[in-house]
Amino acid sequence: MVTYRILETPLGEMMAGATDTGLCLLEFTDPERLQRQLPRLQQHLDAPLHEGDHALFQPLSAQLAEYFDGNRREFELPLDLMGTAFQRQAWTALLAIPYGQTRSYQQQAEAIGQPDAVRAVARANGDNRLGIVIPCHRVIGKNGTLTGYGGGLWRKQKLLALEGALDPQTDAQSDLFA
């Protein structure tokens, strides 16, 4: 069974989901994103979703607040990563990208020992169901452009600006959460 709850963040509502193993979902509640991810999650788990409380939601809320306040760089929560072996490998590589830094999809593919799998890495990142916690927002195009983010490029830009990975002089994000 997956227990879920809606959480408020400075970038909008997010749906958090947890199993007995760990956090398995943290998605912005944009309808198109949830319509894509929820059926995949249920398929992986072969379990229903129900709204309620879970022991992970309080530490998750606290850690998200610390992150958005600039006081947390890594999340310390048990994760329930459901996906193929390749997806889990790509997501683990995302966890290795330091706070405040970015990598290209090419660099991520190289980090998992599959330099020709750039498109597959991008697809795996798109299937990441743990936004912010597994920082797929830290992956950018090879030429430095902000590309692909399920939560929207405006959120990706704000997350990278929060982490100091964007130069406020050259990026239009000097008023981060205004």
pLDDT of 156 over the 90 cut? yes
pLDDT of 96 over the 60 cut? yes
- Name beta bridge partners: 14: 7, 28
Q: pLDDT-derived band of residue 20, with 50, 70 and 90 as boundaries?
A: very high
The pLDDT score that the predictor gives to residue 167 is 62
Q: pLDDT-derived band of residue 139, with 50, 70 and 90 as boundaries?
A: very high
Average pLDDT value for the chain: 89
Question: Alpha-carbon Rg of the chain, whole angstroms?
Answer: 16
Span 79-88, pLDDT tens digits: 999 899 999 9
DSSP state of 98: P
- 128 vs 21, 29, 49, 169, CA distance in Å? 17, 14, 18, 31
The pLDDT score that the predictor gives to residue 169 is 45
The pLDDT score that the predictor gives to residue 159 is 97
126 touches 137 (CB < 8 A)? no
Stretch 140-147: mean pLDDT, rounded?
A: 89
DSSP state of 166: S
Which helix H or strand E contains 157, and what residues bound it? Answer: helix 153-162
Span 98-135, pLDDT tens digits: 999 999 999 999 999 999 999 999 999 999 999 999 99
- The pTM assigned to this predicted structure is 0.87
Span 158-171, pLDDT tens digits: 999 999 998 654 44
For the annotated catalytic residues, the residue numbers are: 136
pLDDT of 46 over the 80 cut? no
- Supply the angle between the helices 85-95 and 118-126 in degrees, to the nearest 10: 80
The pLDDT score that the predictor gives to residue 86 is 97
Q: Which tokens is 97 given? A: 């990208």
